[in-house]
Homo-oligomer: A and B are copies of this chain.
Amino acid sequence: MDLRLSEEERRFREEVCAFIDAALDPATRARMESGRLPTKEQWVAWHRTLAARGWSVPDWPKEAGGPGWDPVRRYLFREALQAAPAPQPQQFGTQMVGPVLIAFGTEAQKRRFLPRIVTLEDWWCQGFSEPEAGSDLASLRTTARLEGEHWIVTGQKTWTTLAHWADWMFALVRTDPSAAKPQEGIGFLLIDMRSPGITVRPILTIDGEHEVNEVFLDEVRVPAENMVGDPRRGWDCAKFLLSHERAGQARVGIAKERIRRLKRIAAETRSPRGRLIDDPSFRDRLAAIEVEVKALEITCLRVVAAEATRAGDRAPDPASSLLKIRGSEILQAIATLTLEAAGEGALAAPEAEPDRPSNEVPSVPDWAAMSAPLWMNWRKFSIYGGTNEIQRNIMAKAFLGL
């Protein structure tokens, strides 16, 4: 039993960090550091930089074009990106539809789509959520009926992240409304976003961002060859996808990067007790979060090490289930401390973006102006991908038998 990194693992991490340091565009880094989503151009460029190094699909096996890393290396790689901070390889392709295709796709599907995921030729989006089916996917209403060689898809998806940048969507569609159980009769379908009948409508969020969308599908014709696996068993694909790579949900690297940043900020911020960093009350609250981050990090490492030693055995483990809950709570606590550090500055909307300077000196520092939008935006961490309440329901059932 040894939690410490081996010499090789340490060298691997250094290599990754050095590469990021050298290859990451400063504007992209500044934008990430500000808490904003990268622009599409920044994201694509960085993804391709990683692809050129062979690192854009860290979770894929060698056969599929991945680097063939073990769970420890995958974890270290992801954390190094978060720490930079740099964008992750675009996740909808690399972490979601890609692994599904590798596991369930036909050879033709793999040949057609996988290489374009590696280099981000295709931007994917996820069509799972619907207005009446969020955490409760069984009440899915979007239908697909087979007409000759095409599925005709009609329905509405919502909360579709970055659909306005997407070339393709992987969607759950109801292929058999008469199936005995509501999870049966669902297909996992790949839909070209340029197909006639698709309308993408932005959902503006309260922080002023356009990140999610509604996607309306009106008699959209999708070639039958775009169905992944059995048209009645798409639920298997969805479950596979949702159980993939839990350690990433803890976002430990982001938490650490945010804390480092907050410490730098607090050293330059005035408070009623001198510099904010010198206020023991602030320091204690920050240290308490650091302690929780450490507990989360060690828990992550336990999960990763268990994955590494028991590759086949995917029995659920309470440690892995708490990662998402605690990860979201910790990031939200950091956002609150940052908001408090901003004081009245949290009132001002951000004026310029770090990689797009304006002529005016902004009236408050960008970090302060961003503190409220980010606080609001980060509420999503305890909501999406199954609310923390649903996560706790699942844990109570799975591990406590309640």
The residues of B that contact A281 with a CB separation of less than 8 Å are 280-281, 283-284
How far, in Å, is A321 (CB) from chain B's closest CB? Answer: 24
Q: Does A279 contact B (CB under 8 A)?
A: yes
Q: Does A397 contact B (CB under 8 A)?
A: no
The residues of B that contact A279 with a CB separation of less than 8 Å are 280
- Write the A160-197 contact mask toward B (1 if CB under 8 angstroms, else 0): 00000000000000000000000000000000000000
- Write the A282-309 contact mask toward B (1 if CB under 8 angstroms, else 0): 0110000000000000000000000000
Nearest residue, chain B, Cβ from A283 = B281
Q: Does A112 contact B (CB under 8 A)?
A: no
Determine the distance from Cα of A273 to Cα of B280 in the docked complex, in whole angstroms.
9
How far, in Å, is A285 (CB) from chain B's closest CB? Answer: 8
How far, in Å, is A357 (CB) from chain B's closest CB? Answer: 38
Determine the distance from Cα of A283 to Cα of B284 in the docked complex, in whole angstroms.
12
The binding surface of chain A is classed by DSSP as helix
Determine the distance from Cα of A273 to Cα of B279 in the docked complex, in whole angstroms.
12
Determine the distance from Cα of A279 to Cα of B284 in the docked complex, in whole angstroms.
11
Determine the distance from Cα of A284 to Cα of B288 in the docked complex, in whole angstroms.
15
The residues of B that contact A284 with a CB separation of less than 8 Å are 281
The residues of B that contact A283 with a CB separation of less than 8 Å are 281
Determine the distance from Cα of A249 to Cα of B133 in the docked complex, in whole angstroms.
44
What are some 7 contacts across the A-B interface (CB < 8 A)?
A273-B280, A279-B280, A280-B280, A280-B281, A281-B281, A281-B283, A281-B284
Determine the distance from Cα of A279 to Cα of B280 in the docked complex, in whole angstroms.
7
Nearest residue, chain B, Cβ from A284 = B281
Determine the distance from Cα of A118 to Cα of B281 in the docked complex, in whole angstroms.
50
Determine the distance from Cα of A281 to Cα of B280 in the docked complex, in whole angstroms.
6
Determine the distance from Cα of A284 to Cα of B280 in the docked complex, in whole angstroms.
10
How far, in Å, is A402 (CB) from chain B's closest CB? Answer: 15
Determine the distance from Cα of A279 to Cα of B281 in the docked complex, in whole angstroms.
8
- Residue among A273, A279, A284 with max Cβ neighbours from chain B (10 Å): A284
- Write the A252-278 contact mask toward B (1 if CB under 8 angstroms, else 0): 000000000000000000000100000
- Write the A69-85 contact mask toward B (1 if CB under 8 angstroms, else 0): 00000000000000000
Determine the distance from Cα of A281 to Cα of B288 in the docked complex, in whole angstroms.
12
How far, in Å, is A282 (CB) from chain B's closest CB? Answer: 9
How far, in Å, is A61 (CB) from chain B's closest CB? Answer: 49
- Write the A8-36 contact mask toward B (1 if CB under 8 angstroms, else 0): 00000000000000000000000000000
- Write the A186-211 contact mask toward B (1 if CB under 8 angstroms, else 0): 00000000000000000000000000
The residues of B that contact A273 with a CB separation of less than 8 Å are 280
Determine the distance from Cα of A43 to Cα of B261 in the docked complex, in whole angstroms.
59
How far, in Å, is A76 (CB) from chain B's closest CB? Answer: 35
How far, in Å, is A323 (CB) from chain B's closest CB? Answer: 28
How far, in Å, is A284 (CB) from chain B's closest CB? Answer: 4
Determine the distance from Cα of A284 to Cα of B271 in the docked complex, in whole angstroms.
14
How far, in Å, is A291 (CB) from chain B's closest CB? Answer: 14
Determine the distance from Cα of A380 to Cα of B122 in the docked complex, in whole angstroms.
60
Nearest residue, chain B, Cβ from A287 = B281
The residues of B that contact A280 with a CB separation of less than 8 Å are 273, 279-281
Determine the distance from Cα of A273 to Cα of B283 in the docked complex, in whole angstroms.
13
Determine the distance from Cα of A283 to Cα of B280 in the docked complex, in whole angstroms.
10
Determine the distance from Cα of A279 to Cα of B279 in the docked complex, in whole angstroms.
10
Report A122-146 residues with CB < 8 Å from chain B CB.
none
Pairs A-B, 7 closest by C-beta atoms: A281-B284, A281-B281, A280-B281, A280-B280, A273-B280, A279-B280, A281-B283
